[in-house]
Structure 1
Amino acid sequence: MKEKHLPISKRLKTIATYLSQGSYFLDVGSDHAYLPCYVCQHDHKAQAIAGEINEGPFYSAKQTVEKYGLSNRIDVRLGDGLDVLNDSDAPFELVIAGMGGTLIKKILGRGHQLLTHFKRIIVQPNIDERDARIALLRLGYTITHEHLIKENGHIYEIIVADFINSKEMEKWAEKDLLLGRQLQFERHPLFIEKWQSEHRARARILSQMKRAKKKNDEKMARFERELSWIEEVLDYE
């Protein structure tokens, strides 16, 4: 007997809303295959590949898929990033969630030759969102949605990019890469909360750098520049 619908986090539910109906998607770092199972339970035409690099999460993902009777629609594979794909695969959407933006950038960069599969990429970096944006734009994707949610005391950014093979990278200022172009415009209360916290953290680090015996002038200049951008968007005097 199949189990009832899988309960998942608000973060994963929000990511799921950006997948198209009937999606065939790859979920990299699938974390027990919760997202693929949830999507396939609610969309009976959806299919997924759940990729895991470590054996423990890989076997946990297989167990989850079997538990919910979805083995015919979700293929759980062991491998590093996009390396789980075969030549015969044709998923058209990609999710990389729950890891740092620098690692997301590395995964996308290393597997760039396979990205012709994907019309849409959805990323949810836990930190270093700027690196994730840079990777998407360099690969010719256009960022179409930026969304903030708060769960368990942490504010997450969900970034959605569609393949248009554009030169959007040329149009993005450093400030936009850091703060998010749409997020700055919308100024959601979570955006204000996040960047007030980030401002305090950066100001504290800058103060420590200024007191250090050996000063890194380049790094201090970068922090001062970023603080000025944050102050500008928060309307600090």
Structure 2
Amino acid sequence: MNKRLNALAEMVDKGSRVADIGTDHAYLPIELMNENKVSYAIASDIAAGPLQNAKDDIVAAGFEDKIETRLGAGLSTITKTDKIDTVVIAGMGGKLMVQILDDALNNGFKFKNLVLEPNIGEPGVRKWLIEHQYRILTEDLIAEAGH
């Protein structure tokens, strides 16, 4: 796993129920399982191709009974019965992140922990977090591959 994903994994509390939104290859949920940090995760993506990559990687890692894949936009793939307490949204712009979080909030979802990694638009994400009574507990800046 790369430095960026390792930094995200470190921010997930042990014992969390995690949803990785925009999962791509499901590297993060797989790593969290490998580290025994979580016992259940959802790997969600809006595109079928990346979600198939995630499914293949999850099966190869032997976690098909612990990581569910879901196809859909943002947090619309999460239900109350999933009992997700930690949401990871990484590798997208801050404006899209805020829209995803707003849509979830408008549908009655507020998650205990958010692990966010906007690649642009960080001030908008900070503003949203403050307006919705979240506290920023940990922050890290990662430089990798020229980004």
Task: Please confirm whether the aligned pair reaches a TM-score higher than 0.5, indicating the same fold.
Answer: yes
**Cα separation, 2, equivalents of 1:143 and 1:45:** 22
Q: What is residue 124 of structure 2 aligned with on the other side? A: 131
Q: Show the 5 A alignment for 1:190-205.
A: none
Instruction: Name the CA shift for 1:33/1:47 in 2 (closer, same or farther; >3 Å).
Output: same
Structure 2: tracts of 5 or more residues without a match = none
Does residue 1:144 correspond to 2:131, yes or no?
no
**Cα separation, 2, equivalents of 1:79 and 1:57:** 12
Q: What is residue 94 of structure 1 aligned with on the other side? A: 87
After TM superposition, the score normalised by the length of structure 2 is 0.94
Instruction: Name the CA shift for 1:34/1:45 in 2 (closer, same or farther; >3 Å).
Output: closer
Match for 2:26 among 20, 27, 33?
33
Aligned length: 146
The alignment partner of 2:135 has SS state of strand
Structure 1: tracts of 5 or more residues without a match = 1-7, 155-237
Q: Show the 5 A alignment for 1:136-215.
A: 136-154=129-147
Q: Show the 5 A alignment for 1:33-72.
A: 33-43=26-36, 45-72=38-65
Q: What's the offset of the Cα at 1:44? A: 6.0
Q: What is residue 96 of structure 2 aligned with on the other side? A: 103
The alignment partner of 2:31 has SS state of helix
Q: Flag the structure with larger Rg.
A: 1
Q: What is residue 22 of structure 1 aligned with on the other side? A: 15
Instruction: Name the CA shift for 1:69/1:104 in 2 (closer, same or farther; >3 Å).
Output: same
The aligned amino acid for 2:104 is G
**Cα separation, 2, equivalents of 1:45 and 1:98:** 21
The aligned amino acid for 2:78 is L
Q: What's the offset of the Cα at 1:45? A: 4.4
The aligned amino acid for 2:138 is H
**Cα separation, 2, equivalents of 1:38 and 1:29:** 16
Task: Provide, for residues 181-209 of structure 1, a one-character-per-residue CA deviation record: whole Å limited to 9, x for no partner.
Answer: xxxxxxxxxxxxxxxxxxxxxxxxxxxxx
Q: List structure 1 segments (4+ residues) > 4 angstroms apart after TM superposition.
A: none
After TM superposition, the score normalised by the length of structure 1 is 0.59
Higher RCO, 1 or 2 (CA under 8 Å, sep at least 6)? Answer: 2
The alignment partner of 1:77 has SS state of strand
Instruction: Name the CA shift for 1:68/1:55 in 2 (closer, same or farther; >3 Å).
Output: same
Q: What's the offset of the Cα at 1:99? A: 0.4
Does residue 1:83 correspond to 2:60, yes or no?
no
**Cα separation, 2, equivalents of 1:27 and 1:98:** 11
